[in-house]
Structure 1
Amino acid sequence: MRRQTLWKAICAATLALGTTATNADFIDDSQVQLKFKNFYLDRQIAETPDRNWGSWSQGITLDAKSGYQDIGAGIQVGADLLVQHAFKLKGRDKNPDFVLPHDGKESKDNFGKVGATLKAKVSQTELKVGELLPVSPVLVFDPSRQLLTTFSGAWLESKDIKDTKLTLAYIDGINNRYDNQFRDLTKFAPPAYDNGATADGMYIAGVDHQFNKELGASYWYADVKDIYQQHYAGMNYKTTLGEKAKLDSHIRYFDNSDSGNKLYGRIDNQALSAGAKVNYGAHTVGLGYQQMFGDSAFPTLGGWVPQPYLVNWGVATFTAIDEKSVGLTYGYDFSELGAKGLNATAVYMMGFDAEVNGKKNQDSDELNLILNYTVPEGQLKGLGFQAMYIDADFDYKSDLKEYRVATTYTYKF
């Protein structure tokens, strides 16, 4: 009830700011976009085809971001609004696909969600309260399906120190990509994907520093109260190799342990990953290595929240106890052949030596083939198409294949 009251207050304040602002920058610097996404997903599970899932849906999102109104003393305020809605065009109603809400019998024909954010800024320090779309090593929003997975809370970010970004945050809820309201945080622990024991919020602190144009480093800490705490340290290095080649590399380390009342039991996991990509003209080649240490698998939040800061991440997450994995990437930009806006990527990841359900030396591998095209010019400029094929094989569970097709278009007012 308290959360619903808070959201009503934030939405009311957002509307009030939009109608009473006299500062021209509030309106003139605003950005309003209408986003369309047609999304198809089909997952085929080899050994249990009766558990296949998938759907075809159409999504519409209104994304409105205001400029800032000066209220004196160097303080500026503004408000953002995000309205999302999806319609089912076709679906396998028997099984949930975690794209559309499912009531145990069938997926809903349509659903929507509304989020509002109040923001205040002093110099290069900004506070956001309400709906959040974070991108950080310890928490990221998820745009991978139809509607977004977002979070609620407060996010304070400061860039007042040269070449340094400081972050403090408190998260009190998650609105999963297949849900229409904010709920308490849980741990992803199948078969409880999002409905296990709940945390009393998540506390976050982080610092990112850029030493020079080539070298940067980060440290982040997160505590999902009574579930797990997480330390992250990472370094990234970018440079040019000759006249045409570019190197982008990183090394990342996570240390995960249980927190407070240990609602999901003891957690002991450390994850080390390193990756590098070299771009030369139309070609991009990448290599990544990842290894899990400790007595537990890598913990993530309930609701299928991803962890893309792990170098090897996919349908097969490569995060089991003791698991080691290697990833290879190749990408090609067809612009050099005259097909501007067209690119293709192939990713192969192989995991080995994992311990799953008490069984050791379990292997898995995954192949991703991705084709992207964006109309580069003309009246349909920005219209995007993506086709994705996933083939994942496991020693410890059924193999699967997945097909995704997305068409996107953004209209800017």
Structure 2
Amino acid sequence: MNCSIWVSGMVFAGSALSSFYANADFLKDTKASLDTRNFYMNRDFRQDNAPQSKAEEWAQGFLLRYESGFTAGTVGFGFDALGLVGVKLDSSPDRSGSGLLLRDRESPRRAQDEYGELGVTAKMRISKTVLKVGTLTPKLPLLQANDSRLLPQTFRGGQLNSLEVLGLTVDAGRLTKVNQRDSTDNEDISISTVGVKNFKPQQLASNNFDFASFSYKWTDQLTAGYGYGHLDNVYDQHVFTLNHVAPLSGGSTFKSDVRFARSTELSSSQVDNRALEAMFTYTLGSQAFGLGHQRMSGDSGYAYISGTDAFLVNFVQVNDFANVSERSWQARYDYNFAAMGLPGLTFMTRYLTGDNIDLGANRPEGKEWERDTDIAYVIQGGPLKNVGIKWRNATVRSTNFGSDIDENRLILSYSIPL
């Protein structure tokens, strides 16, 4: 046999075999699912002179999630994809604005019949470090993408996650655009002005949000963390966290969740806030009892990205209890009905009250309270196994500011592995 032909054949065979194993590794860890959500929401505004009597809409959502594995080798490559589609089932111009559906550009009070988007993320792995660039849904103390409506909020940017040191989790990156949960547009990232925040309106948005987060697990029971966030030309933020779970007799536990955040202005945005929070939860069998306190100080309310879930113990279904100088308390109770022979059925209720809200000179203090109840059931067997049903109810009342709201959400969900 001609030597050059033999060598060429071996090289080709080696490349093919290498490609086969790389692709096999790439495919082995690939995951895909189709999540469906049927979402009804009714928000009834109870205060006098409300501009709209209620927001009431019904919609169907589809979320196609794809996560590839990584190619073999020292440096592995892969990609993720997120396909989102929302379909209007019921809405009208006098009841729109629930956050479920995209509003029509030419007629903002009317919801579009359907909307959708596709997000793609490229990723690279070296050892225990992964870099992702593209569509992201971060869940960090500095920024938590919201997924409480029909479709999730997404961001565009890059994020690095590293687990190289045992017990230490490092996240860092930059986000440049946000796509809100009822939108298909990538927009500048802005600070939330919901409630009484006292931010200066001239500079509240940016196209750069930089972040770095460190979390270290000292023991199986104790974890501490620090995070830094920088919304360019708007604010800087430092977040400190401490979580401890103490095992007690009889299988019960006592969990402590303590947080402190310091937010300061950039370019005269008037951000100046200190947030001290703590949540303590005692779990006994199928029951959990929680007590939380949250205290705001400084010249402004708490700073967080618009549309996201604020990293606050009293950020709940409707309110964030993070207004200027606000002090708030929470009492919470959870029950798992598996103890009564009904696995899959859970219950939660909580009550929060806040006062001392600074509404400005010569105005009385603002006060508010909120009561939430969640009942959820996941079918455990049969042809409808893993179908989830959740009812969420909230009642909100305020004094001297804000809206009075009665709210109900009914969510039917199902995830199909592909």
What TM-score, normalized by structure 2, do the two folds share?
A: 0.89
Once the two structures are superposed, the pairs formed by residues 2-401 of structure 1 within 5 Å of their partners are: 22-47=22-47, 48=50, 50-70=52-72, 72=73, 74-94=74-94, 95-103=96-104, 104-189=108-193, 197-259=204-266, 261-262=267-268, 265-302=269-306, 304-307=307-310, 309-314=311-316, 315-358=318-361, 359-395=363-399, 396-401=401-406
Deviations 1:299-323 (A, max 9, x none): 2222x2221x211112121111110
Deviations 1:186-220 (A, max 9, x none): 1223599x998531301101110010001110000
Relative to structure 1, the CA distance from residue 200 to residue 61 in structure 2 (aligned partners, 3 Å threshold; closer, same or farther) is closer
What letter matches 1:411 in structure 2? I
Root mean square deviation of aligned Cα: 2.0
Aligned length: 387
How far 1:20 sits from its partner (Å)?
10
Please say if residues 130 and 161 of structure 2, whose CA atoms lie closer than 8 Å, have aligned partners that are also in contact.
yes
What letter matches 2:81 in structure 1? L
Determine the structure 1 residue equivalent to 2:408. 403
Q: Distance in 2 between matches of 1:405 and 1:381?
A: 19
Please say if residues 355 and 366 of structure 2, whose CA atoms lie closer than 8 Å, have aligned partners that are also in contact.
yes
Q: Distance in 1 between matches of 2:404 and 2:136?
A: 35
Please say if residues 170 and 214 of structure 2, whose CA atoms lie closer than 8 Å, have aligned partners that are also in contact.
yes
Q: Distance in 1 between matches of 2:246 and 2:75?
A: 38
Please say if residues 333 and 344 of structure 1, whose CA atoms lie closer than 8 Å, have aligned partners that are also in contact.
yes
SS at match of 1:238: strand
Relative to structure 1, the CA distance from residue 238 to residue 51 in structure 2 (aligned partners, 3 Å threshold; closer, same or farther) is same
Q: Distance in 2 between matches of 1:357 and 1:151?
A: 35
Determine the structure 2 residue equivalent to 1:3. none
What letter matches 1:211 in structure 2? W
Please say if residues 177 and 207 of structure 2, whose CA atoms lie closer than 8 Å, have aligned partners that are also in contact.
no
Q: Distance in 2 between matches of 1:299 and 1:92?
A: 34
How far 1:361 sits from its partner (Å)?
2.3
Q: Distance in 2 between matches of 1:20 and 1:61?
A: 31
What letter matches 2:64 in structure 1? L
Aligned-residue sequence identity (percent) comes to 27
Comparing 268-277 and 94-103, the one that deviates more? 94-103
Runs of at least 4 residues off by over 4 Å = 19-22, 194-197
Q: Distance in 2 between matches of 1:172 and 1:322?
A: 31
Q: Distance in 1 between matches of 2:177 and 2:309?
A: 16
Structure 2 gap segments, 5+ residues each: 1-18
Q: Distance in 1 between matches of 2:141 and 2:22?
A: 38
Determine the structure 1 residue equivalent to 2:12. none
What TM-score, normalized by structure 1, do the two folds share?
A: 0.90
Name the larger-Rg structure.
2
How far 1:101 sits from its partner (Å)?
1.4
Relative to structure 1, the CA distance from residue 241 to residue 190 in structure 2 (aligned partners, 3 Å threshold; closer, same or farther) is closer
Please say if residues 203 and 233 of structure 2, whose CA atoms lie closer than 8 Å, have aligned partners that are also in contact.
no
Q: Distance in 2 between matches of 1:122 and 1:160?
A: 10
Relative to structure 1, the CA distance from residue 68 to residue 378 in structure 2 (aligned partners, 3 Å threshold; closer, same or farther) is same
Deviations 1:382-403 (A, max 9, x none): 1101001100000023311111
Determine the structure 1 residue equivalent to 2:16. none
Relative to structure 1, the CA distance from residue 43 to residue 196 in structure 2 (aligned partners, 3 Å threshold; closer, same or farther) is farther
What letter matches 1:100 in structure 2? L
Relative to structure 1, the CA distance from residue 63 to residue 195 in structure 2 (aligned partners, 3 Å threshold; closer, same or farther) is farther
Q: Distance in 2 between matches of 1:21 and 1:177?
A: 39
